[in-house]
Structure 1
Amino acid sequence: MFRHSQLESVKAWIAHPAHVTMPLHARIQRAIRQLIVNGALASGKPLPASRALAKSLDVSRDTIEAAYSQLHAEGFIERRVGSGSFVAEMTDFSAGRRLSQRDALARNQAPNLSKRGNAMFRSGGVREQLVPRPFAPGLPETRSFPIQLWERLERQVLKETGTQALLHGNPQGTEPLRRAIADYVNLERGARATADRVLVLTSSQQALTLCANMLLDAGDSIFIEDPVYYGARRAFDAAGLIPVPVPVDRQGIIAEHILEDPLKAKAVFLTPSHQFPTGATLALDRRLALIEWASRHQAWIIEDDYDSEFRYTGKPTACVQGLDPHDRTIYIGTFTKSLFPGLRIGYIVLPPQLVKPMTVARTLLDGHTASVAQLTLARFMEGGHFGAHIRAMRNIYAERLEVLTKLVGIHLSEFIEPRVPIGGLQMPCLLTCEISERAAIDAARRVGIELLGLSPLHASGSGRAGFLMGFAAYTPAELEIAVKKLKTAFQNIKI
């Protein structure tokens, strides 16, 4: 018979919620097999008679016989007529158990990864909020999205395309969506795009990874804004690139630092329309200077236009790509912030010579973006719904920014100095008290509030302490509750 502990182990395995969907005989077979593999049942040890085990587990004898038959078929046990069932002699797992213990120790050590794998792992990746918590930045309001309209358009797509939409799609993206994107960025962003220059991807992060790996070699340098979007920096680090931080002022990246040492890097990464995280807009003369630098030295400009749709004061400036007559600018856009994150559609407008190489490289990552979502989005844009949604959300976000600014002035003025942006989905704030950035973030998290610190975004390590406060995804009432919680959390910090 099994010892009491072994019998209890089998019962626990059978009753575990993760196993209840399996047939009963399979659960019993797996539980006994696990005892053998773990070395709890050594080679040659007898198993309980099927009748006795059936009684102990309160199951039928046929169920035990089915479990034993499967163990025998897999070679874990031997069945001897007139003698019973025994753990197979040829299956000695005692050494394996000792090896497993060593493996358990090894699991706590650094994994044996490639250099690129280590760089990706050390970066920590890009983790988004699964459930929005104030004041997580970069999150749009999804509760106001016209989901019924979207469902109707999706049904139209499925009715007209039938099973064709269920097959593999064009890795460059469906032609209707590429055409709609080109029309949009030409009209609204002053770009120079055609449908054949658009590559539809799952996200701007995928676009950054493609650029890092296709345009530069490991060990090459790339100019980056300082501070910089963390997702871009991690993509470049993972590709083995050497970031060269360039300071940012109220007119964006200081181009003179690049022009003074033009050969120091082969590319520059920019968020010119709305610099992340400062919110600065890159001045026209600096844009033109960088365009000429890229042309003269055959360098690349990687332009991330991540939330340019949401500008609350003044007129939007044209994107750098639209000003570049030399085709040295790669323009990256996404629908994650303008529509909803679950859509998983971004895009990249490429110079003609890069379209085929980038499309081929994309097939090695994920093949293609889901056709049904692409075709639905194309109809959403062609029908004017995208523009209408953007205009509606721009008004909502402008109101929420105004509310947050007033709340910060009333409740948090002794702790922080807000830098009210002209656009975007988050507001940078600088700490003006003796509270450290880490202490502020930790205190906020304890009361259910998420803040993104500014210091880690500075590659040079010279930035002032502070954090971003996302406001777009939260109603005025939610913003007020969160600001008051944050005030209490800061007041309770022991300096």
Structure 2
Amino acid sequence: MFKHSQLDSVKAWIAHPAHAVMPLHARIQRAIRQLIVDGALGAGKPLPASRALATSLGVSRDTIEAAYSQLHAEGFIDRRVGSGSFVAEMTEFMPSRPLSQRDALLRNQAPTLSTRGAAMFRSGGVREMLAPRPFAHGVPETRTFPLQLWERLERQVRKEVGAQTLFHGDPQGTEALRRAIADYVNLERGARATADRVLVLTSSQQAMSLCATMLLDPGDRIFLEDPAYYGARKAFDAAGLDCVPIPVDRQGIVVDQIMAEPHGAKAVFLTPSHQFPTGATLALDRRLALIEWAARTQAWIIEDDYDSEFHYAGKPTACVQGLDKHDRTLYIGTFTKSLFPGLRIGYVVLPPPLVKPMTVARTLLDGHTAPMAQLTLARFMEGGHFGAYVRTMRGVYAERLALLAGLVSKHLADFVEPRVPIGGLQLPCLLTRDLSERTAIDAARRVGIELLGLSALHAAGDGKAGFLMGFAAYTPLEIEEAVRKLEKALRAVTRP
């Protein structure tokens, strides 16, 4: 028979609200199993007869029999005809006593991670807001997305392709989507792509991690824009790379400093269309100089074209990959910004020799991207819907940017100077008075407003204080209300 403490433990386990979804016999089985695992019931100890335990717990004997049968099937107890049920001898490796205070402390210590694992954990990862609020950056408008059209295309795919969409997909991506992506980037971005050079991924973040691990070894140098996109810096830091910051001016990354670096680097990471976070566009002469540098030194150019669809002044400059006749550029794109974050489809256009190695490496991460989403997106693009949607949203976002810039100049002129970009989904603002960046961000958060600080994006630590204000996902009314809230919050923390 159980001791009173053991019987009470089983009763407590059964009654716990978190276990209510389990059948009663499963709760009893789990409770007894936990007593064995914790060492409260040692190897060879007898268990109460099923009839006696049923009476003690106020349940049917069949319920106890079902619990004992599962424990026996899992190897935790032995059942002997005429003798009863006993804790299996094979459980003798389990602790025979409760954990000591020292053992408990050791159990709760931080795990020993690999060098790379520790770096990834320290970075904090890349976290996105599940329910964005003004002025969270990099979030597109989703409330006006043509969901009915998308669902109709998805039904067409399901009807025509059927159960084939339920199987594993091609790790490189479905041919239809790769072809649609190649056609799009060739036409709109001046790329040099073919379907067989496109690798479909779940995100641009996955593409950067693949580049870091497949092209460089720990300790290798990589040039990064300074300031830089935090997701890229974290991916490269986690891979153990030596990230060398290169300053950015109004014409993009300062290429002369790259040329002057005596030790060189094996790669450079760029956001040339709309530099993150400054919004600068990399000048053509600098693009050409980087291409020649990469060819001469056999380095790689990793080009992140994360929101190039949204360009509001003049015609966008052709991507670096389209100008690179030496095939040293990897071109990364994503549909997270142009369509909706939940789609989880990105891609990279690769130099031909890298297609097979990168595809094989991808199979070790997540295998493939969901075929249904890929085929639906392919139809969305082939039917001209993607181009039409982007053109519509480009106009919407341009109006929202103009509105936000005007409101900032009107209501926040005492605090910040807006730097209106020619594209992208966020407005950089530099603090102009004696107000710390942290104070401004905390004050905004207290009134339900989200800002991304600029200073932390500078590796050299000498960047001007300020913040990014995302505008794409918010209506004109929401933008105006949020700016007024932010004005009040900043005045409250700067009032003498």
Q: TM-score if structure 2 supplies the norm length?
A: 0.92
CA distance in 2, matches of 1:193, 1:158: 29
Corresponding position of 1:28: 28
CA distance in 2, matches of 1:64, 1:266: 66
Counterpart of 1:331 in 2: which secondary structure? Answer: strand
CA distance in 1, matches of 2:89, 2:387: 72
CA distance in 1, matches of 2:101, 2:33: 18
Structure 2: which amino acid aligns with 1:356?
K
Corresponding position of 1:198: 198
Gaps of 5+ in 1: none
After the TM superposition, which of the residue ranges 431-440 and 97-106 deviates more from structure 2? 97-106
Structure 1: which amino acid aligns with 2:283?
A
Identity %: 80
Structure 1 pair 194/88, CA: closer, same or farther in 2 (3 Å)?
A: closer
CA distance in 2, matches of 1:434, 1:229: 26
CA distance in 1, matches of 2:368, 2:166: 12
Counterpart of 1:330 in 2: which secondary structure? Answer: strand
CA distance in 2, matches of 1:420, 1:201: 32
Structure 1 pair 91/482, CA: closer, same or farther in 2 (3 Å)?
A: same
Corresponding position of 1:343: 343
Structure 1 pair 25/305, CA: closer, same or farther in 2 (3 Å)?
A: same
Q: Kindly indicate whether the alpha-carbon contact (under 8 Å) linking 1:42 and 1:93 is maintained by their aligned counterparts in 2.
A: no
CA distance in 2, matches of 1:384, 1:81: 74
User: Cα distance, 1:199 vs. partner?
Assistant: 1.2
Counterpart of 2:303 in 1: which secondary structure? Answer: strand
Deviation string, structure 1 residues 347-406 (Cα, Å, up to 9, x no partner): 111112222221222222222212221111111011000011101111111122122223
Counterpart of 1:493 in 2: which secondary structure? Answer: helix
CA distance in 2, matches of 1:481, 1:9: 55
How is 1:205-244 mapped onto 2 (pairs within 5 angstroms)?
Answer: 205-244=205-244
Q: Kindly indicate whether the alpha-carbon contact (under 8 Å) linking 2:216 and 2:266 is maintained by their aligned counterparts in 1.
A: yes
Corresponding position of 2:145: 145
Gaps of 5+ in 2: none
Deviation string, structure 1 residues 168-199 (Cα, Å, up to 9, x no partner): 22222111111111111111111111112111
Corresponding position of 2:267: 267
Q: Kindly indicate whether the alpha-carbon contact (under 8 Å) linking 2:38 and 2:98 is maintained by their aligned counterparts in 1.
A: no
Deviation string, structure 1 residues 386-440 (Cα, Å, up to 9, x no partner): 0111011111111221222233233332222222221111111122233322232
Q: TM-score if structure 1 supplies the norm length?
A: 0.92
User: Cα distance, 1:49 vs. partner?
Assistant: 5.7
User: Cα distance, 1:85 vs. partner?
Assistant: 6.2
CA distance in 2, matches of 1:349, 1:174: 14
Structure 1 pair 377/41, CA: closer, same or farther in 2 (3 Å)?
A: same
Matched pairs, number: 495
Structure 1: which amino acid aligns with 2:335?
F
Corresponding position of 2:245: 245
Structure 1 pair 107/248, CA: closer, same or farther in 2 (3 Å)?
A: farther
Note if 1:326 corresponds to 2:326. yes
How is 1:9-20 mapped onto 2 (pairs within 5 angstroms)?
Answer: 9-20=9-20
Deviation string, structure 1 residues 89-131 (Cα, Å, up to 9, x no partner): 8756883655586564235434222222222222221111122
Counterpart of 1:143 in 2: which secondary structure? Answer: coil
Counterpart of 1:332 in 2: which secondary structure? Answer: strand
How is 1:95-494 mapped onto 2 (pairs within 5 angstroms)?
Answer: 95=95, 98=98, 102=102, 104-106=104-106, 108-261=108-261, 263-493=263-493
Counterpart of 1:95 in 2: which secondary structure? Answer: coil
Structure 1 pair 43/213, CA: closer, same or farther in 2 (3 Å)?
A: closer
Q: CA RMSD in A?
A: 2.6
User: Cα distance, 1:207 vs. partner?
Assistant: 0.9
Structure 2: which amino acid aligns with 1:59?
V
Q: Kindly indicate whether the alpha-carbon contact (under 8 Å) linking 1:138 and 1:425 is maintained by their aligned counterparts in 2.
A: yes
User: Cα distance, 1:214 vs. partner?
Assistant: 1.4
CA distance in 1, matches of 2:375, 2:399: 32
Q: Kindly indicate whether the alpha-carbon contact (under 8 Å) linking 1:38 and 1:93 is maintained by their aligned counterparts in 2.
A: no
Q: Kindly indicate whether the alpha-carbon contact (under 8 Å) linking 1:225 and 1:269 is maintained by their aligned counterparts in 2.
A: yes
User: Cα distance, 1:225 vs. partner?
Assistant: 0.2
Structure 1 pair 200/52, CA: closer, same or farther in 2 (3 Å)?
A: same
